[in-house]
Amino acid sequence: GAVVSQHPSRVICKSGTSVKIECRSLDFQATTMFWYRQFPKQSLMLMATSNEGSKATYEQGVEKDKFLINHASLTLSTLTVTSAHPEDSSFYICSARDPRGADGYTFGSGTRLTVV
Amino acid sequence: KQEVTQIPAALSVPEGENLVLNCSFTDSAIYNLQWFRQDPGKGLTSLLLIQSSQREQTSGRLNASLDKSSGRSTLYIAASQPGDSATYLCAVDRDDKIIFGKGTRLHILP
């Protein structure tokens, strides 16, 4: 089935720095990818929809200048958390859907971000 | 606005029991419904996908049903095992966006 690779799996950064998370579709092309945030023991919250070759669509309440999304190719989307603060510490997960099949959405393994 | 509710929020059962997890959604105009499993600190693993035209899907000890008109889905796990312990998430797909329930945290007691 479709595979989505997410990197890194864990990252610790200092307050004020920026962190980039990559999401790749390994065996299919994804014109659309999705970025989620998950707080402990909570469900996934959709942050934004990443569109290849155009601007991302952000959900209400998500700061687009804080969470920069770039979808420069059909297999790669990146999420950059800019000027990170401790409250940005969370679990971030990306997903995509293989347009060739009917397997639904495939998720990356997630990135645990800790801002100290 | 689509809302997805999962009941119960948490469940502990002895090993070997059969169990049912419930999912309900408010807007029946969905493309499909997907059940996922999430282990602590990990990503999501897709378990079963039910297209809107289907009534159920089966994979091994798992069976998922869908009643679109009533906005309900159930995930049936037969002969539960300690390895089934995880959080189970239900998600509905509409308008190229999926909406998740809050999940059911399942603990199978050895």
Per-residue pLDDT tens over the stretch A25-79: 998 999 899 999 998 878 889 999 998 888 999 999 999 999 999 998 999 999 9
Place A103 in a pLDDT band, splitting at 50, 70 and 90: confident
Cβ of A43 within 8 Å of Cβ of B51? The answer is: no
Q: Which residue of B37, B98, B106 is the best one to mutate when testing the A interface, meaning the one whose CB has the most A CBs within 10 A?
A: B98
pLDDT by position in tens, chain B (length 110): 889 999 999 999 999 999 999 999 999 889 899 999 999 888 899 999 999 999 999 999 999 999 999 999 999 999 999 999 999 999 998 877 788 999 999 999 99
The H or E element spanning position B43 is none
Q: Shortest Cα distance from B42 to chain A (angstroms)?
A: 6
Which of B93, B97, B102 is the closest to A46 by Cβ?
Answer: B97
Contacts of A46 in chain B (CB under 8 A): 97-99
Cβ of B42 within 8 Å of Cβ of A105? The answer is: no
Residues 6+ apart with CB under 8 A from B62: B35, B47, B48, B75, B76, B77, B78
Is residue A102 over pLDDT 80?
Answer: no
Is residue A18 over pLDDT 90?
Answer: yes
pLDDT of residue A21: 97
Cβ of B49 within 8 Å of Cβ of A102? The answer is: yes
